[in-house]
């Protein structure tokens, strides 16, 4: 990366005009790392809208992709509309709790970002467990919930980048082998973000080396289909569970975590990219997309 970089911190999209006032949109590109703030995790879409209004080239997906991928039930609708395999799910409300009969199941926050409120208790095995988890989250003031079929199988994250021609980076497998027997194989919030917790150091990311070429191609094909269905740009990440050789999309990430600890950088490393080289590639993809 042989160009000057100026870090800019904002707390909401409303701060963008003043924060970028000194920069010329025709000469600058924004590496958009804004994903929202605690009070409004959905403000990431508003940031991309404001960047468009200001005329800046920026990395990553536009607002419409953000909005589709941010809501998990909306994500499932898009996937089903494109015939992309995904676990069945439904909005979870008190008067529909007993309508759900597929177990084991997993309870998630529909507008969740970064596995917020996802714990091992999120996996439930019967209606009583579902009601219990619903009430636990309700007591925390969390009401926008979804229940989905829990796919018991290997989990992979597929990092992709490109526009038009979309390249899949080496598959990353989530390694649950060190978990105690009987513990659900999920990456909880603590497993992703709390480096002081034991579980953070128990669940590992590793290269997916044991897949047959046929299954690997199948996973990559499904991931590319999801990337295109959501209109992702420059880069993205698709999370997949594999059951009986069939890849199921469990999450679509429009602007995924690209920190040192994230699975996107892990995939880039497996493809021999350094951290600066990965960021440089993302910036170059955005510039090329805009014809710069």
In angstroms, the CA 69 to CA 155 distance is 19
pTM of the model: 0.94
Q: Looking at the domain assignment, is residue 48 inside a domain?
A: yes
Residue 173 domain-assigned?
A: yes
HEC sequence for the chain: CCCCCCCCCCCCHHHHHHHCCCCCCCCCEECCCCCCECCECCHHHHHHHHHHHHCCEECCCCHHHHHHHHCHHHHHHHHHHCCCCCCCEEEECHHHHHHCCCCCEEEEECCCCCCCCCCHHHEECCHHHHHHHHHHHHHCCCCCEEEEECCCCEEEEEEEECCCCCEECCCEEEECCCCCCCCCCCCCHHHHHCCCCCHHHCCEEEECCCCCHHHHHHHHHHHHHHHHHCCCCCEEEEEEEEECCEEEEEEEECCCCCCCCCHHHHHHHHCCCCHHHHHHHHHHHHHHHCCC
260 and 195 within one domain: yes
Does 117 share its domain with 219?
Answer: no
Q: Is the distance from CB of 186 to CB of 192 less than 8 angstroms?
A: no
Whether residue 93 is found in the same domain as residue 202: no
Q: Are 56 and 13 in contact (CB under 8 A)?
A: no
Query: Average pLDDT, whole number, for the chain?
Result: 93
76 is a domain residue: no
Round to whole Å and give the CA distance between 244 and 209.
Answer: 18
Residues 222, 101, single domain; the answer is no
Determine the average pLDDT of the residues in 280-289.
96
User: How many independent structural domains does the chain possess?
Assistant: 3
List, for residues 199-256, the tens digit of each pLDDT value: 999 999 999 999 999 999 999 999 999 999 999 999 999 999 999 999 999 999 999 9
Whether 110 and 167 map to the same domain: the answer is no
Torsion of CA 89, 93, 98, 104, to 10 degrees: 40
Q: Are residues 135 and 108 in the same domain?
A: yes
Co-location of 184 and 245 in the same domain: yes
Q: Tell me, what's the pLDDT at 167?
A: 98
Which pLDDT does position 291 carry in this prediction?
A: 82
Q: Are residues 239 and 203 in the same domain?
A: yes
The enclosing domain of 109 has a CATH number of 3.30.1490
Average pLDDT score over residue span 7-34: 92
69 lies in some domain: no
Query: What number is the average pLDDT over the span 265-269?
Result: 97
Q: In the prediction, which pLDDT does 101 show?
A: 97
For 117, the domain range is: 89-149
What's the CATH code of the domain at 192? 3.30.470.20
158 and 202 both lie in a single domain = yes
Compare 103 and 193 and report the one with higher pLDDT.
103
Question: 35-49, 125-139, 205-219 — which is least confidently predicted?
Answer: 35-49
130 and 28 share one domain: no
The crossing angle, in degrees rounded to 10, of helices 213-229 and 72-81 is 110
Instruction: Identify whether residues 180 and 272 lie together within a single domain.
Output: yes
Of 131, 149, 167, the position where a domain reaches its end is: 149
Is the same domain home to 156 and 139?
Answer: no
């Amino acid at each position: 990366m042989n160009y000057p970089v100026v870090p800019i911190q904002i707390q909401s999209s409303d701060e963008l005009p003043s924060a970028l006032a000194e920069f010329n949109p025709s000469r600058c590109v924004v590496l958009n790392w804004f994903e929202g703030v605690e009070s409004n995790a959905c403000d990431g879409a508003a940031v991309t809208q404001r960047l468009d209004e200001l005329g800046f080239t920026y990395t990553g997906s536009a607002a419409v992709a953000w909005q589709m991928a941010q809501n998990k039930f909306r994500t499932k609708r898009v996937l089903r509309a494109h015939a992309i395999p995904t676990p069945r799910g439904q909005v979870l409300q008190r008067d529909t709790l007993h309508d759900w009969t597929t177990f084991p199941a997993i309870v998630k926050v529909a507008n969740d970002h970064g596995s917020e409120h996802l714990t091992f208790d999120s996996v439930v095995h019967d209606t009583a467990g579902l009601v219990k988890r619903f009430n636990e989250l309700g007591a925390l003031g969390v009401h926008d919930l979804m229940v989905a079929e829990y796919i018991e199988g290997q989990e992979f994250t597929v990092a992709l980048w490109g526009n038009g021609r979309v390249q899949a980076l080496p598959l990353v497998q989530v390694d649950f082998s060190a978990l105690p027997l009987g513990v659900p194989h999920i990456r909880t919030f603590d497993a992703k973000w709390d480096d002081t917790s034991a579980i953070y150091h128990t669940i590992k990311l590793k290269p997916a080396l044991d897949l047959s070429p046929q299954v690997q191609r199948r996973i990559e094909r499904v991931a590319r289909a999801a990337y295109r269905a959501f209109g992702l740009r420059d880069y993205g990440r698709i999370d997949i569970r594999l059951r009986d050789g069939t890849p199921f999309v469990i999450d679509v990430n429009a602007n995924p975590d690209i920190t040192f600890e994230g699975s996107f950088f892990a995939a880039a490393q497996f493809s021999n990219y350094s951290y600066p080289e990965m960021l440089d590639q993302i910036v170059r993809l955005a510039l090329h997309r805009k014809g710069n």
